[in-house]
Structure formats: structure tokens, C-alpha cells
Amino acid sequence: MVKSQCFEKVGLKKGPWTPEEDQKLLAYIEEHGHGSWRALPAEAGLRRCGKSCRLRWTNYLRPDIKRGKFNLQEEQSIIQLHALLGNRWSAIATHLPKRTDNEIKNYWNTHLKKRLDKMGIDPVTHKPKADSFGSGSGHSKGAANLSHMAQWESARLEAEARLVRESKLSVPNPPKNILSSAVSAQVSNKGSAPPTARPQCLDVLKAWQGVVFSMFSVRSSGSLSGSLESPTSTLNFSENALAIPLVGVQKNPTTTLAFATNNATCNRGTTTTEFDGGNQLECFEKLKEPAQGKRNLESSMAIHDISPYASDHNAWFVDSSANENAPMGNIIDGFSEILACNSLDHSPTCSGENINDNYAGNLEDNYWNSLLNLVDASPTGSSVF
DNA sequence: AATTTCCACAACCGCACCCGG
DNA sequence: CCCGGGTGCGGTTGTGGAAAT
């Protein structure tokens, strides 16, 4: 298909936007909405292509955009989500309120990637660079397994999201709130203004963490080794329950995660499974990887904390402070330490310290030790799931 | 003070998907 | 089912300011 591209049109301006152009675009959208981006420039008196206007709006002018330096929580979120989702910036942005995919992408490329690199962690795989099975500490292998699991879990979650979505689509007149804002915006409001509200929780991340948590609970009981066999999802739907077996971890169906809901449509408010400290199973949106690598938001399920994301530093982890049996906070503590010591604005505990090899090595250890310590500390059959 | 290099980020580009006709 | 317009997305480039020489 041959399409006329923006840049092919003569007389259209390219490059940085001027304040006057911004003002014109803002004024027009405030008054008329953007409607068709292609038609907008002419109607707004701009000599720009529609695509350029859309980008300027979505990445810069939108009023619900938070600008400025990323805080520690956001950095942690990006790193963890990137480990889980890879370079799917729009998906990551979905879980970082008021941040755009472009901003996150740029921040990753200019800051976080380098920081991880400096720590001796491959920013692509999130594995220690010098990882060699059997030659290092036992943690290396564990870390590799963890990363491997993360990849499989990512694939599995995506596949399950598709199934959940298909299931939902088959339900007539789904209740409100089944789809969270971003999904709703994409599904039912396509072509209109971008979603102005983003989910307030890192549902995918939490779901994954919960699964990993369970995985290592299994490992602790000695049944994990050599059990990674297939990422194939076997998500089961029944009339009253959604069951997500720990495929790829172990085959024992008795450890299936039973996501009990009143119906397969995962209606918010029909939660029946409650965890310690107020963590509940609830509907959520997650990210799926459609065929051929394109990205979309879809619907699925997740565990999330009913405490507001913004009000709790660690709220997007299963709340360890509220549940002594679920020390998820260890992870974030580790990340906090790592990031604080690597950020430009050094923390008091490591201010002015150059990162030499040993230090970087320690940080790398912390990165994985945080995860593995968590694992070691987790009780078998945690009530988290 | 002039020039070069580095860095951060805004913007561009092209591909792929969605959807209506 | 096919086609084409509209849009979303991720990778890449361009630009301007800061730092270094």
C-alpha cells in the first residue's frame, strides 16, 4: 500500500514547534477536540502534517502529562516493567500515570539503560552480563532462571490476556468498569482523544511478581528444578472460576492458581479472593502481544492492592508491610538501594562514590539478591496466591 | 573566546494494525 | 474478502544546550 506521508507534502513545516504553533494547536483542540488529525492542521491554521500535530499533542501539550525528572518509584517501575515487557513503551507507559511512552523511552535510553549497564546488568535481558552457569555463585543460575521465567511469564500473560479478552468479547453488555480507562479508551473511543486517565496500579507487574513468588515457593520445596518446559498457556475458564496453572513451573495441578470470580468476565466488584493486608484479586488490564509484534492494550486479570497507588510507596508490590508472609518489599528495597546509589543525585549513603568494578559487582548482586532473598524468605504455599 | 564533543530530549519516520466502506 | 484511510507504536535522527578542550 502506498500512502502519502507527511513529509512528502510540500510546504509543510518540520522540526521543533514554536510557542505560537503550540498555542494554535492547544486552542484548537480545547475548542473543537482533535477529531481527524489529518484535517486538523488546516482547520487550526497550522502548516504541519496531522501526524506531527498528534505527536506534539500526545507527547507534549496534553494537559495530563507530568513533566520533569522521573522519581525513584518511576525508575523502579520502568526497570521492572522493561524486564517484563521489553521495549514496549506504550505498554510500560500505561502503568506510569501521566508519563508518555516517548518520555519513558527517552529516559530509558539516556539514563536507565546506561545505569544498568554500569551495574553490569544487560539492559536488554536484565541478566548479569558476566553470567556463566556453574562458574559463579549459585545466584547466577538462579538469576538466569528468574529472567527466563520472567520471559515466559510475559508470554504467558499475553496469551492469557488474549483469551480473557476473547472471553469478554463474547459476553453481551459487559458491566461498566470491566475495562479500565485506557482499554475503554482504545476499544470504545478509538479515534478520539487519548485516554486521560491511566490505571493506577502496576497490575501486570504485580501479577508477574505474584507468579514468580509462587514459583519460588515451589522451588523452596524442591520441586522446581528442571521444570521449565513450556510457556504454553492452559488458562481455563469455567463458569465460576478462572484458573491459571503455573505452566512452565511445575505440572502439579494442585498448585494451580485459582482466580475465583463470579463469572468469566472478571467484573470489578465481584472479587471473591482476598489476600492478607487487603490485597485482592481484581480485574485489570494488561498488555498483550498481538500477532506480528504489534502492541495493544487488552484486558485480563491481576492481583492488585486496593490501597491507592499514589499513596503508598510500595503499593504496586504485594504489600509486604501488611503481610508478613509476603516479603515483597525486599525487592523494592534492593532497587531503591541500587538506584539511589547510581542516580545522579546520590543518596547520603553513597554520595560522591564512583562506581568501580567491585561496587558495580555489589550492585549487581544486590539486584538479584533482592529477588532471590525474597524467594528464600518466602514460605511455601504463601497466601499471596 | 572559539571550537569540539557530549548529552538529553523532541520530533520524525516507516511499519503494522484497526476499521469502515 | 479486499482496499485504503486513520492511527498507534517503536526505532532513529536532529537539534540545542552544557561541558570539555
pLDDT tens per residue across span A303-338: 333 233 333 333 333 333 333 333 334 444 445 455
For nucleic chain C, give residues with Cβ below 7 angstroms from it. Answer: A 1, 3, 15-16, 35-39, 50-51, 54-55, 58, 87-91, 101-102, 105-106, 109, 186, 190-191, 194, 294-297
In whole numbers, what is the pLDDT of chain A averaged over residues?
A: 52
Q: Which nucleotide is nearest to A105 (CA to C1')?
A: C10
Would you state the pLDDT for residue A90? 81
**Spacing of C-alpha A156 from chain mean position:** 14
- Which residue(s) pair with A285 in the sheet? A299
Q: What are phi and psi of A293, to 5 degrees?
A: 75, 5
Altogether, the residues listed in chain A come to a count of 385
**Cβ–Cβ < 8 Å for A128, A143:** yes
Query: How long is the CA A114 to C1' C18 vector, in angstroms?
Result: 19
Inform me whether the pLDDT recorded for A210 exceeds 80. Answer: no
Instruction: Give the mean pLDDT of A28-48.
Output: 83
What is the CA A222 to C1' C11 distance in angstroms? Answer: 43
The model's pLDDT over A123-179, given as tens digits with 9 standing for 90+, comes to 878 877 765 333 334 444 444 444 444 555 555 444 444 444 444 333 333 333 333
pLDDT at A10: 61
> A223-232, A295-304, A314-323, A343-352: which has the highest mean pLDDT?
A343-352
Q: Stated in angstroms, how far is A48 CA from C10 C1'?
A: 22
Say if residue A373's pLDDT is above 80. Answer: no
Spacing of A37 CA from C17 C1' in Å: 32
Q: For residues A106 and A89, what is the distance between their CA atoms, to the nearest angstrom?
A: 10
User: Which nucleotide lies at the shortest CA–C1' distance from A55?
Assistant: B11
For A131 and C17, how far is CA from C1' in angstroms? 39
**Confidence band of A120 (pLDDT split at 50, 70, 90):** confident
Could you tell me the pLDDT band of residue A101, with boundaries at 50, 70 and 90?
confident
**Per CATH, domain A10-61 is 1.10.10.60:** yes
Measured CA to C1', what is the nucleotide nearest A40? Answer: C6
Confidence check: pLDDT of A254 > 60? no
Q: Do residues A53 and A40 make contact, with C-beta atoms less than 8 angstroms apart?
A: yes
The pLDDT value given to residue A171: 37
Residue ranges covered by each domain of chain A: 10-61, 72-311
Query: Which pLDDT belongs to residue A74?
Result: 86
